[in-house]
Structure 1
Amino acid sequence: NRIITMLARGCGIRDISAIEKISCGKILSVLRNSNAVLKPKKHYYDTLEIDEFWTFVGRKSQRVWLIYAFDRASKEIVSYVWGRRNKETVNLLLHKLKDSQIQFGCLASDKWGCFRALFKGYIHLIGRKYTIGIEGNNCRLRHRIRRVFRKSCNFSKLLDYHFKVFSLVFSYLNIE
């Protein structure tokens, strides 16, 4: 449990190994077996802010895109998907929101064309002033998860570990 908390708080694998005096393999095993699930606190949100966020696995040329929905009022990460920066990934997020039976009054996003195209049937607020909350959350994620910081030596070598760490952090931030 302490290892999970340290991972969620942004400690690196080797840092945890040194502090807890256990092997890196044990920490990776705990991470691999973790099953953090993001559970929305509500079924209705007035406004969901949606944004894309890139990170990398292995090397910076291997970008992985996170597209997620955020509620500014509760500072809650409502739902997220991983994929390429394209319409299909945004569509996956919309389907995930529908499958979770999450309803919303309107969506807010930046001017990216995929958002404009897919959010036509919804009340859609476009512009920076509507996405202040999620942009602030992006900064919080960059501070909290060292492997997201773009000029860092810390990075995930395997996609599975990368996804697990983000799941832990998102679950932890929603409880916090």
Structure 2
Amino acid sequence: MEKCPGCLTDLNVVKNGLNKDQKQNYLCKSCKKQFIDRRALVYRKFSGNTTLISKIIKMLERGCSVRDIEYIEQVPRSVILRIIERFNLKINLKQQVYKSIQIDEMWSYVGRKRNKKWFIYALSPETGEILACVVGKRDTKTVKKLYDKIISLKVVIEEFCTDNWSAFSKVFSNCCHKIGKQFTRMIEGVNCLFRHRISRFVRKTCCFSKKLKNHINAIMIVIDSINKGNAWAK
């Protein structure tokens, strides 16, 4: 008889019908868990379990993969993916005037390595917050989307600092634009933080999202942590 993955005993485990794939379903009379082929079907009310949801989000912030969380917390993968899908971030800016913002890009992929997605974002070195970001192709059109997002924030930005990529020069040509790695040192450090916190950004990684929405929301979870000042905690 199968052992219960909850209480690790087979004393009170009985057969409990077949699932839709015609696989044997088991019921543990001790802890009331049902499971199929050693995989627990955890019957918790996840939507109302704010403690568990908060814990999963914190683990995602700290770089834990979906499979790691599934193993540690004994939570179905579908539940973790649902939490990622439903994560909604609203960026609340800390001030109305910024002396400068630094802009840089990082690449990753969704589904397959040939399907590259570039993450381009704007960081304030004064407050350490991320003001806006976009995910898309590495072209002028994507940079323009970021610029439009920044303008829609209705804040005063005195200067934009980027590297010498031509798309930045085209989009920010009408602004006070500083070009050079010496002006983007802080954002390069944040890029390193992203690689520590999101395995999708690690060079030569095998970790990726199958859905673009999950990819973006996984990034947003870490951005929320950065803006709250939690990402730098050891």
Aligned to 1:57: 110
Q: Is the 8 A contact 1:37 1:167 kept in 2?
A: no
Identify the structure with the greater helix proportion: 1
Structure 2: how far apart are the matches of 1:93 and 1:153? 28
Which of the pair has more CA radius of gyration?
A: 2
Give the 3-state SS of the residue equivalent to 2:130 in structure 1. strand
Give the 3-state SS of the residue equivalent to 2:148 in structure 1. helix
Give CA deviations for 1:29-78 in whole Å, capped at 9, x if unaligned.
Answer: 11112212232222221111111211111222110011111112222111
Structure 1: how far apart are the matches of 2:164 and 2:130? 21
Aligned 1:32-111 pairs, distance under 5 A:
32-111=85-164
Give CA deviations for 1:111-145 in whole Å, capped at 9, x if unaligned.
Answer: 11111112111111100100111111111111111
Query: What is the TM-score with the length of structure 2 in the denominator?
Result: 0.72
Deviation at 1:102, TM superposition (A): 2.3
Q: Is the 8 A contact 1:54 1:65 kept in 2?
A: yes
The answer to whether 1:173 aligns with 2:226 is: yes
The answer to whether 1:136 aligns with 2:189 is: yes
Q: Is the 8 A contact 2:110 2:209 kept in 1?
A: yes
Give the 3-state SS of the residue equivalent to 1:68 in structure 2. strand
| Percent identity for Structure 1 against Structure 2 | 38
Q: Is the 8 A contact 1:38 1:167 kept in 2?
A: no
Structure 2: how far apart are the matches of 1:113 and 1:140? 26
Q: Which runs of 5+ in 1 are unaligned?
A: none
Instruction: Return the structure number with greater relative CO, CA threshold 8 A, min gap 6.
Output: 1
Aligned to 1:19: 72
Q: Which runs of 5+ in 2 are unaligned?
A: 1-53, 230-234
Q: Could you tell me which of 155, 163, 180 is aligned with 1:127?
A: 180
Give the 3-state SS of the residue equivalent to 1:122 in structure 2. coil
Query: What is the TM-score with the length of structure 1 in the denominator?
Result: 0.95
Aligned to 1:149: 202
Structure 1: how far apart are the matches of 2:118 and 2:177? 22
What is the root-mean-square deviation of aligned Cα atoms in Å? 1.2
Aligned to 1:9: 62
Structure 1: how far apart are the matches of 2:98 and 2:227? 15
What residue identity is the alignment partner of 2:125? R
Structure 2: how far apart are the matches of 1:80 and 1:58? 21
The answer to whether 1:162 aligns with 2:206 is: no
Structure 1: how far apart are the matches of 2:120 and 2:156? 18
Count of equivalent residues: 176
| Deviates further, 52-61 or 164-173 | 52-61
Q: Is the 8 A contact 2:94 2:127 kept in 1?
A: no
Deviation at 1:93, TM superposition (A): 1.0
